[in-house]
């Protein structure tokens, strides 16, 4: 991009800040645009948790041209599934379709990685639906790869009456 200052990165155009509870409406809107359904209760709980956390923020908002452009939500666990080392879990990420391919996701991931490094966290995990090829590609470009651990799931059957 030719109008960048010398030494500036293309992701520097995106303002990244801590996600706030007051961001709920646009987070739900962006998620609904990408996922096809609104999940206001889910994000209300996630934002409330994020607001209670102290220290370096790992739930982030991306603003571009003074407009809400994307968000990212992660959590830190100090050991999970028998692993003693701390790990961050990226559980939600979304970029408004109008801001796709404007480096919003890259800027959010860059800031998340800097915040996690400041906390001494060395591993970031996430899950993605195998059929979401665009998201898989984004994660691959962001440095993610297959985990050495296998994720398992089981469908719970309702009791018959």
Q: pLDDT digit string (tens) for 37-68?
A: 889 999 999 888 877 765 556 899 999 999 99
Query: Is 7 a residue whose pLDDT tops 70?
Result: no
Query: Residue 143 corresponds to which tokens in the numbers above?
Result: 């440095």
pLDDT at 11: 65
- Percent of the chain whose pLDDT exceeds 70: 87
pTM (2 d.p.): 0.83
DSSP state string for the chain: -TTSPTT--GGGGSEEEE--GGGHHHHHHHHHHHHSS--HHHHHHHHHHHHH--SS--SEEEEETTEEEEEEEEEEESSBTTB-S-EEEEEEEEE-GGGTTTTHHHHHHHHHHHHHHHTT---EEE---TT-HHHHHHHHHTT----SSPP---PPPPPP-
- Domains parsed from the chain with CATH numbers: 10-141 (3.40.630.30)
Give the full edge-to-edge strand order of the sheet including 87-95: 15-18, 60-64, 67-77, 87-95, 124-126
* Contacting residues for 145 by C-beta, under 8 A, at least 6 apart: none
Beta bridge partners of 88: 76, 124
pLDDT band at 1 (very low <50, low <70, confident <90, very high): very low
pLDDT at 9: 57
> Mean pLDDT in the chain?
87
Nearest to 20 by CA among 50, 45, 42, 58: 50
């Amino acid at each position: 991009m030719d109008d960048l200052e010398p030494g500036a990165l293309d992701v520097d155009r995106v303002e990244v800040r801590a996600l706030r509870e007051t961001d709920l409406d646009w987070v739900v809107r962006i998620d609904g645009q990408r996922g096809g359904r609104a999940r206001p209760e889910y994000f209300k709980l996630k934002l409330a948790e994020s607001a209670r956390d102290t220290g370096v923020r790992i739930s982030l908002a991306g603003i571009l041209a003074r407009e809400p452009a994307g968000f990212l939500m992660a959590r830190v666990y100090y050991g999970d599934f028998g692993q003693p080392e701390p790990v961050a879990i990226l559980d939600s990420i979304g970029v408004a379709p109008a801001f796709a391919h404007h480096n919003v996701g890259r800027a959010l991931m860059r800031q998340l990685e800097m915040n996690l490094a400041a906390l001494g966290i060395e591993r970031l995990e996430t899950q993605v639906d195998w059929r979401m090829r665009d998201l898989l590609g984004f994660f691959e470009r962001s440095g993610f790869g297959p985990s050495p651990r296998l994720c398992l799931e089981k469908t719970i059957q309702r009791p018959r009456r």
